[in-house]
Structure 1
Amino acid sequence: MIGKAWYPIFLREMLLFRRQLLRISYLFSAMLIPIIYLLTFGLGLGRMVQIKGTDYLNYLIPGLVSLTSMMNSYTWVANALNLNRLYFKNFQVFIQAPIQPSAIMIGEVLAGMVKGLFASGLILIVGFITTRNLSITPLFVPILLLNCFLFSSLGVITGMITKSHEDTATYNNFFILPMAFFSGTFFPVERIPQPFQAVVWAFPLTHANILIRENSIDLYGLLSLVVLLLYAIVFFIIGSRLIRDYSE
């Protein structure tokens, strides 16, 4: 039984996270890239461009929240696991402890979700300050939670399979960075040239960006929700198995 076996893993990460919060550099690092995007695209074009019946800034901010949740949930888990495995060697303590692999997975994923939600909350606060018309849809919070869960699980996979700390940057450049720019964060996917749309529709962030802006789920929204749930389940299972089979 998993029970509360995941809690010590989660608590450890939260205690480390609390120490990070005391450093101003962490807050800046969590917000820097999204704020740059907001200033460059949102405030620069926000009141001159209309997308889907609203000004560009109102379209952009939900996408930036989704993007921030992806980057922080994924990056912090992937980097932490990689460092704990290869350099600090304290991940081996988790494996030797009488804890099920799924409990370790749950603790790491929940910690990644908290970090992703925290960074997303900061961007959302900035969004409410910069625009008066920003609204939160009924799907906003559940999709944000699902997005954090999904990419935290992916972060576990990356953290478990990388052979060096530099490898995490390679995975980031090939998978996370393309999703950041081409998954509907800054402009609708329909504006991407047709030959590339098939690849973009396979990105989980594309479906998160669609749903986080919707007021209700229609047929296409239901399809996006199914895609996100499948990604989340598959990533969680793969991550749990990688932890179970860990033998370094």
Structure 2
Amino acid sequence: MNLSWYPIFLREMLLFKRKLLRLGYLFSAMVVPVIYLITFGLGLGRNVQIQGTDYLSYLIPGLVAMSSMNNSYTWVASALNLNRLYFKTFQVFVQAPVSPFAIMIGEVLAGMVKGLFASVLILIVGLITARELYITPVFMAALLLNCFMFACLGVITGMITKSHEDTSTYNNFFIMPMAFFSGTFFPIDRMPYLLKMVIYIFPLTHTNILIRKNQLDAEAIVSLTVILAYALIFFVYGERLIKNYNE
């Protein structure tokens, strides 16, 4: 088996290990989801029922999906942008005898680890506080695919941005709206029809649908298909950007 992607993955993991020793990293990975958990989850808590369960149990899977999206995407996009434009280490990868496919795999797997790490922190809190939170095979599949999908999107953003400030622009226009309007905090069936049609385009919407399913019903299969399609498109496009890189 070709393991040419492993040095790239290992490099990111060694850098990630150094970050784990800093309290600030752990705090930054948890602060936003925990604020939402305290504000909405513990504030409304078990007094509000949504889709047959208490609001806290409804909210935790959404926060896991949102946290995995933010961390898988942001850390890959920012790191790749800095490595390409400022540190010039990405050019070493391109000039090395490593295929664009291997570079893509290494970066995406590293992004997935970072996304899963942040998600586990939220899950630990959720398992302690929520009464009806169950980690099913569908839940894990949705989480892994979500990390993969947004890590691929992070590669795309890291490759097309012209400055580090551009990554914040993409985050404000795409990632932040998805975090709030994709079913993280409330069911999307309560939204106006026209807005609902736009929301169903967001990939995170389908992660939120799938991650709350106990089994693969018709709606879950549709969402799973959409996620797989997005993941494939993002991966292929990201690999092509790496292959055609000529700065």
Q: Which moved more, 1:106-115 or 1:214-223?
A: 214-223
Moved more, 135-144 or 236-245: 135-144
Q: Which runs of 5+ in 2 are unaligned?
A: none
Q: Within 5 A, what are the aligned runs for 1:37-48? A: 37-48=36-47
- The answer as to whether partners of 2:9 and 2:110 remain within 8 angstroms in 1 is yes
Measured on the aligned residues, the alpha-carbon RMSD in Å equals 0.8
Indicate conservation of the 8 Å contact 1:60/1:185, yes or no: yes
Residues 101-148 of structure 1, C-alpha deviations (whole Å, 9 max, x = no match) = 010000000000000000000000011122233222230111100000
Deviation for aligned residue 1:170: 0.3
Of residues 236-245 and 128-137 in structure 1, the stretch that sits farther from structure 2 once superposed is 128-137
Please, which moves more after superposition, 6-15 or 45-54?
45-54
- Per-residue CA deviations over 1:152-208 (Å, capped at 9, x if unaligned) read 000000000000000000000000000000000100010111110111000010000
Alpha-carbon deviation of 1:89?
A: 0.7
Alignment-mate amino acid for residue 193 of structure 1: P
- Judge conservation of contact 1:64–1:123 (CA < 8 Å) in 2: yes
Q: Distance in 1 between matches of 2:56 and 2:27?
A: 22
Query: By how many angstroms is 1:63 displaced?
Result: 0.6
Q: TM-score, normalised by structure 1?
A: 0.98
Q: Which amino acid aligns with 1:46?
A: G
1:41 CA displacement: 0.5
Equivalenced residues, count: 247
> Residues 19-34 of structure 1 correspond to what in structure 2 (within 5 A)?
19-34=18-33
Looking at structure 1, the residues matched to 224 and 165 of structure 2 have their Cα atoms a distance apart, in angstroms, of 33
For structure 1, the 5+ residue unaligned runs are none
- Give the match's secondary structure for 2:175: helix
> What secondary structure does 2:46 align onto?
coil
Tell me if structure 2 keeps the 8 A contact 1:184–1:206: yes
Residue 6 of structure 1 aligns with which residue? 5
Are the equivalent residues in 1 in contact too, given 2:53–2:132 (CA < 8 A)? no
Length-normalised TM-score, structure 2: 0.98
Look up the match of 2:168: 169
Equivalents in 1 of 2:199, 2:160: separation in Å? 24
